[in-house]
């Protein structure tokens, strides 16, 4: 609940048990006092509460204790007696009330920085607070017409349920906002008597000194809050009911439950009229937080979009962390020595580096088996399916381009516009600084299925499925070549054709030490459609590319094989030369390949869906430097769907 930190001040209805047949006794208490050894204190209080069969909430901090618990009368009294044995709580006052049921589902004992959060360490109610005004004295002042400024320090949702006649409130949604909200009071209020009030008095213990520090000269707090006033004065000069932080939700001036409920989603008070409004569903929403499906989806998408961008901007992989990479032995490597397996399986890592890792004890058997985490030896023989763990302490990753944009989201799919350089999935030097790792943190509790991949240096649309069935149906569309994939590439050269279907199998057999792929008869069939969009001065050509198959690096390898490689490609260089790295650094010139559009049929209802990614800077520059009206269809960032 949004107000769970204020439970101690919620039920200060009387100082003695109320007679009646209600079987449950509720105890509310708070005290500002210096407490130490909070971990030990928390454990001891929780143990005692569990022994007594109590439920509720107890908050402890260095500034004091705040609690509301309920249970059988002997058990509740036993807890209060126990708390009074703790140094500093000897005179802890208990406020009692009765109810037919226990208003809590479980027992929580928590350590907090403050029992009432305000965030100003100079406010110390244990040392000093404002003078208290008894309820009957306030009633007399109001009946005499005495000039007094009533200030409701509660949250706005509490005020809506009821308050004193003529009282002012500051429209706050959390008590922490009270600090800034004071400035909204008129200057003349500093010279007038100000009587603050809240539910049970605890918030006024901090609000009073804060007002005094702000220059208010005559500040009082209503002793015991609204509930104490109800007990002694009934509903005189008060309109409505009082919100309380327990299962009863609201009490009338006779301290009886009103029958209100709380919205599970937003914690607003729900009336009978709200329930009948058609915008209420138990456990889901109420009229105050209801959104129609389109609004809700857009709100969720915007929230996910913001969180992805914030997380990516933090460059999580650039902060040193201990990384553990699992390694498994494929069938073809069984029977080899460990060092030979590692060198062949990971050609990008030098043999001497693997030797150093093994000698340092950083390569172990995985946790499965009779001897978990046993350190490996370089000469041991590996077997098929065997697992190892490569421990890499103080891992840091290269920085990435964090400008990820969420361009589409529904219950089945997520699509992003990927910047570059940014690897799509964890690999090599990139783990946390990868697209899927970042997205998985935002969509926690879900399993996102990557439907297709882009190179780290390629920008554009990346599609993921939020459900296994969606991933399966989309994978079939890709396998059937039913997905229309549109790329734009800047090629280094002027081809002799205006359009061509280039067909050449692609294989990684020719990768060599530098890595990468090549056209090779032993490879898998691959065809790419190239269409000239614009020939540029300087010998470069902007083309539209549509790969009919989905081989790794397909467009790049086919352009390279034709002698007109993609501009900026670090691997497939001009003159059929091969570069020595796969991923560009952030300050390198871009690789000019952009996945502009994916068009397919939605896996839920088979409707056509087109997802577009806005043009990257290199492509925008080309378009801006050419005649108006001749731009190709590169994907409008304002369209996203149906482009």
What is the length of the chain? 643
Q: How far is the first Cα of the chain from the last one, in angstroms, to the nearest whole number?
A: 43
Sign of CA dihedral 485, 538, 566, 637: negative
Sign of CA dihedral 308, 309, 314, 315: positive
Tokens of 271: 């009336």
Q: Are 572 and 556 in contact (CB under 8 A)?
A: yes
Of 49, 198, 592, 643, the active-site residue reads: 198
User: How far is the C-alpha of 19 from the C-alpha of 36, rounded, in Å?
Assistant: 37
User: How far is the C-alpha of 395 from the C-alpha of 373, rounded, in Å?
Assistant: 20
> 105-108: long-range contacts (C-beta < 8 A, 24 or more apart)?
105/55, 106/55, 107/46, 107/49, 107/50, 107/54, 107/55, 107/56, 107/69, 108/56, 108/57, 108/58
User: How far is the C-alpha of 426 from the C-alpha of 530, rounded, in Å?
Assistant: 31
User: How far is the C-alpha of 375 from the C-alpha of 121, rounded, in Å?
Assistant: 51
Cβ atoms within 10 Å, residue 456: 24
User: How far is the C-alpha of 344 from the C-alpha of 336, rounded, in Å?
Assistant: 10
> 467: part of which helix (H) or strand (E)?
none
427 is catalytic: no
Sign of CA dihedral 612, 614, 615, 616: negative
> 413: part of which helix (H) or strand (E)?
strand 413-418
146 CB-contact burial (10 Å; exposed 0-12 / middle 13-18 / buried 19+): exposed
User: How far is the C-alpha of 125 from the C-alpha of 58, rounded, in Å?
Assistant: 19
By annotation, the residues acting in catalysis are 198
């Amino acid at each position: 609940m949004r107000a769970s930190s204020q439970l101690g001040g919620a039920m200060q209805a009387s100082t003695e048990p109320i007679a009646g047949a209600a079987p449950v006794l509720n105890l509310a208490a708070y005290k500002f006092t210096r407490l130490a050894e909070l971990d030990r204190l928390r454990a001891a209080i929780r143990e005692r509460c569990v022994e007594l069969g109590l439920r509720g909430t107890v908050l402890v901090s260095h500034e004091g204790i705040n609690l509301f618990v309920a249970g059988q009368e002997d058990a509740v009294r036993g807890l209060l007696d126990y708390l009074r044995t703790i140094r500093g709580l000897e005179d802890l006052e208990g406020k009692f009330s009765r109810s037919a049921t226990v208003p809590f589902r479980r027992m929580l004992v928590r350590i907090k920085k403050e029992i009432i959060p305000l965030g100003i360490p100079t406010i110390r109610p244990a040392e000093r607070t404002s003078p208290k005004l008894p309820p009957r004295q306030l009633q007399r002042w109001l009946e005499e017409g005495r000039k007094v400024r009533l200030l409701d320090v509660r949250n706005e949702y509490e005020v809506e349920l009821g308050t004193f006649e003529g009282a002012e409130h500051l429209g706050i949604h959390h008590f922490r906002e009270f600090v800034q909200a004071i400035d909204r009071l008129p200057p003349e209020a500093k010279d007038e008597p100000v009587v603050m009030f809240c539910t049970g008095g605890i918030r006024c213990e901090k609000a009073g000194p804060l007002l005094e520090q702000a220059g208010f000269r005559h500040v009082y707090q209503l002793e015991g809050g609204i509930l104490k006033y109800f007990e002694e004065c009934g509903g005189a000069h008060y309109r409505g009911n009082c919100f309380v932080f327990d299962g009863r939700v609201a009490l009338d001036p006779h301290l009886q439950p009103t029958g209100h409920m709380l919205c599970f989603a937003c914690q607003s008070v729900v009336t009978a009229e709200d329930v009948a409004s058609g915008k209420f569903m138990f456990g889901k929403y109420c009229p105050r937080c209801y959104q129609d499906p389109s609004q809700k989806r857009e709100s969720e998408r915007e929230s996910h979009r913001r969180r992805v961008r914030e997380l990516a901007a933090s460059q999580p992989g650039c902060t040193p962390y201990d990384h553990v990479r699992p390694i498994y032995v494929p069938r073809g490597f069984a029977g080899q020595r460990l060092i030979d397996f590692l060198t062949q399986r990971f050609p990008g890592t030098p043999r001497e580096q693997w030797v150093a890792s093994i000698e340092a004890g950083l390569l172990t058997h995985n946790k499965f088996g009779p001897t978990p985490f046993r350190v490996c030896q370089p000469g041991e023989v590996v077997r098929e399916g065997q697992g190892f763990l490569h421990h890499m302490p103080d891992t840091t990753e290269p920085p990435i381009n964090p400008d990820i944009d969420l361009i589409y989201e529904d219950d089945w799919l997520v699509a992003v516009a990927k910047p570059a350089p940014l690897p799509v999935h964890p690999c090599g030097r990139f783990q946390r600084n990868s697209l899927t790792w970042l997205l998985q943190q935002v969509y926690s509790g879900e399993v996102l299925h990557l439907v297709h991949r882009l190179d780290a240096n390629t920008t554009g649309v990346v599609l993921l499925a939020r459900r296994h069935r969606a991933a399966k149906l989309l994978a079939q569309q890709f396998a059937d070549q039913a997905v229309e994939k549109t790329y734009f590439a800047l090629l280094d050269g002027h081809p002799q054709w205006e359009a061509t279907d280039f067909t050449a199998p692609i294989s990684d057999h020719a990768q060599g030490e530098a890595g990468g792929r090549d056209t090779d008869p032993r490879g898998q069939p691959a065809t790419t459609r190239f269409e000239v969009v614009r020939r540029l001065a300087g010998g470069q050509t902007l083309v539209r590319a549509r790969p009919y198959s989905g081989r790794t690096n397909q467009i790049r390898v086919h352009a390279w094989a034709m002698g007109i490689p993609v501009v900026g490609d670090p691997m497939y260089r001009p003159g059929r030369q091969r570069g020595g790295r796969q991923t560009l650094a952030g300050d390198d010139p871009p690789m000019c390949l952009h996945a502009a559009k994916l068009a397919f049929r939605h896996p839920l209802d088979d409707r056509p869906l087109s997802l577009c990614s806005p043009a990257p800077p290199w492509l925008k520059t080309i378009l801006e430097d050419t005649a108006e009206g001749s731009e190709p269809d590169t994907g409008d960032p304002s369209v996203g769907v149906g482009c």
